[in-house]
Amino acid sequence: MTLIIDNNIVERVLSMETTIEALEQSYLALARREAVCRPRIDIRIPTKDPAKNYQWGTMEGGSTDGYFAIRMKSDVIYEDSRGGVVTQEKYCVKPGLFCGLIFLTSTETGEPLAFINDGHLQHMRVGGDGGIGVKYMARKDAEVVGMLGSGGMARTHMQAFTRVRDIRKLQVYSPTRANCEAFGAEMAAKYNIEVEVCDAPEKIYRGAHIVAGLTDSAVPVLDGALLERGAHIVNIGGSGVPDAASMARVDAYLRFGDAPAPTGHDNFPNDAEHIGWEARPNQPKFGDGRKGAKGHGVMLPEKRVTLAGLVSGEAKGRVSDDQITWSERGNLQGAQFYAVAGRVYEAAKALKLGREIPTEWFLQDIRN
């Protein structure tokens, strides 16, 4: 039987500890060439509304450990401006609804194992990346988090940060004060930490050992001029790259790794975060196709180390408490979904959770 696993089940069975472990193992398997993935690929098509475009996005990967997964997203993308901040918005069918699915298969038999809603797993895998970056690059005594954003990504990042460091204080700002206060109260109660809800974004940097920009902004939100010595940077949104001032101050840069080039095409550009194809390419697009922007690749090659290099001892990351560091996943999204979805599937199956549908529905006797 093939399982249908919804977000409620994912939230029930998937811990942050499991997420971080699965991600680390997958990234190291890629370095050993025991796993494989490709960069995210998007297809963008204009809608009848010139302020919106359709975007189909996929990322995929698998391992000799037995699982393969493709993550699929079907979105209508547009941009909005709130308080002078340009944000990326999306929906499927109507605002407030989204379509993201993970299709998990067996690499031993080809069997369709599960269809999994990607919502909660998506937040967990991105938060897990933040935790891995802090684990390997933040100061050992890091205890103060400065955060821009108070949504779902902020919650899973705090979950990850508290798993890898003894966090004592959170300084947080987001434009909607009520949301920020509710988030702050939740974090204070959940992690027994001091929380300061800031009334201006610049206040989150004061004394912060970990600075996290976790927003849906379409442009960078961090201000590198305000970083204090010893800070570690985590950045989501804003094209995936911190602002130029932050980049100029980075002393050491952890990029977990790069997707391998296709077999027989060693010169194929393979460090891009995402690759897009567009109908009416001269017509402006939104989201990750904003103004023809390319998905960034390796940003600071002279300062870059990989996760495999750190784990093996072949490379060093932070070498002093005064250094400013930055971590990012690289274009390994496809390697995340088979690893984490495999853990979710195993846990759901063991607990007899999920909706069973006949595997025969997906099989046929006509050769494809």
Residue 113 has pLDDT above 80, yes or no: yes
CA distance linking residue 26 with residue 48, whole number of Å: 41
CATH class given for the domain over 2-121+334-362: alpha beta
pTM higher than 0.75 for the full model?
yes
**Which pLDDT does position 80 carry in this prediction?**
86
The set of residues, in sequence order, having a beta carbon less than 8 Å from that of 168 and lying 6+ positions away, is: 143, 144, 193, 194
Residue from 331, 336, 337, 334 nearest 269 by CA? 331
Average pLDDT over every residue of 292-320: 89
**Which pLDDT does position 196 carry in this prediction?**
97
Average pLDDT over every residue of 299-316: 94
Tens of pLDDT along 33-79?
999 999 999 999 999 999 999 999 999 999 999 999 999 999 999 98
Q: CATH assignment of 130-260+296-331?
A: 3.40.50.720
**Which pLDDT does position 75 carry in this prediction?**
96
Tens of pLDDT along 221-249?
899 999 999 999 999 876 668 889 999 99
Distance set, CA 299 to CA 247, 251, 330 (Å): 9, 13, 10
**Which pLDDT does position 28 carry in this prediction?**
97
Distance set, CA 265 to CA 37, 68, 93, 179, 268 (Å): 15, 22, 39, 48, 5
Average pLDDT over every residue of 312-332: 95
Greater confidence (297 vs 228) lies with 228
Domains 2-121+334-362 and 130-260+296-331 belong to one CATH topology: no
What type of residue sits at position 243?
D
Is residue 330 within 8 Å of residue 300, measured between CB atoms? no
Letter string b/e over residues 330-341, b meaning 16 or more CB atoms within 10 A of that residue's CB: bbbbbbbbbbbb
Tens of pLDDT along 236-288?
876 668 889 999 999 999 999 999 988 888 777 678 888 899 999 989 888 77
Q: Which two tokens stand for residue 338?
A: 């088979």
Residue 292 has pLDDT above 70, yes or no: no
Domains of the chain by residue range? 2-121+334-362, 130-260+296-331
**Which pLDDT does position 36 carry in this prediction?**
97
**Which pLDDT does position 218 carry in this prediction?**
66
